[in-house]
Amino acid sequence: MNNLLRVLGRIVVVALLVAAVTVAYSAWRGNMSWYFRVNGQVAVDGHETTGYLHANTDKTLLLLTRTDEARPETYLVSLAQPTTVIDCGEWHPVRFLPFPVRENPPCTASTVDPGKVHDPPVSVNITTGRNFVEFSTKSGKKVRAQW
């Protein structure tokens, strides 16, 4: 029984090492980018929520998750010019954990089911500054992220 546990333990350790090396190699080659939690505030209609932010390592993409309603709503904000905002539908990142993404952003206009979008952004009204982004949604709410 002890031999079986040792063998299983070694298999698990080897599998974890292979996974870590694969992720590190992919990140080094540029095929993968990491999104990390950003300290900041999310406000909806001027009221601070328990929303949260993630940014990629280049700080060109921001994932803004608002939690003012029953289910979280995440928006992918491109901070490069021109600034754009895309609703991520039902997908949202885990609040506290960093996560890797292979090549493409975690949600794009082509991968999101329009039927599952709850409150899409109105892309005409995007205001950006050095440490904030603000936009309106279809329901008329004003969403602001500040970091």
Give the start-to-end residue ranges of the domains of the chain: 1-30, 33-146
Strands (DSSP E) contained in the chain are 32-38, 41-44, 47-48, 52-56, 61-66, 73-78, 84-87, 99-102, 121-128, 132-137, 142-146
Mean pLDDT (whole number) for 23-43? 79
For residue range 120-135, list pLDDT tens digits in order.
898 777 888 889 999 9
Better-scored residue on pLDDT, 33 or 138 = 138
Mean pLDDT (the chain, rounded) = 85
What b/e string do you get for 82-103 counting C-beta neighbours within 10 Å, with b at 16 or more?
eeebbbbbeebbeeeeeeebee
How many C-beta atoms surround the C-beta of residue 41 within 10 A?
15
Query: Is the overall model pTM greater than 0.75, yes or no?
Result: yes
Q: In terms of DSSP bridges, do strands 84-87 and 52-56 run parallel, antiparallel, or are they unpaired? A: unpaired
Query: What is the spatial distance between Cα 26 and Cα 19, in angstroms, rounded to a whole number?
Result: 11
How many percent of the chain have pLDDT more than 70? 90
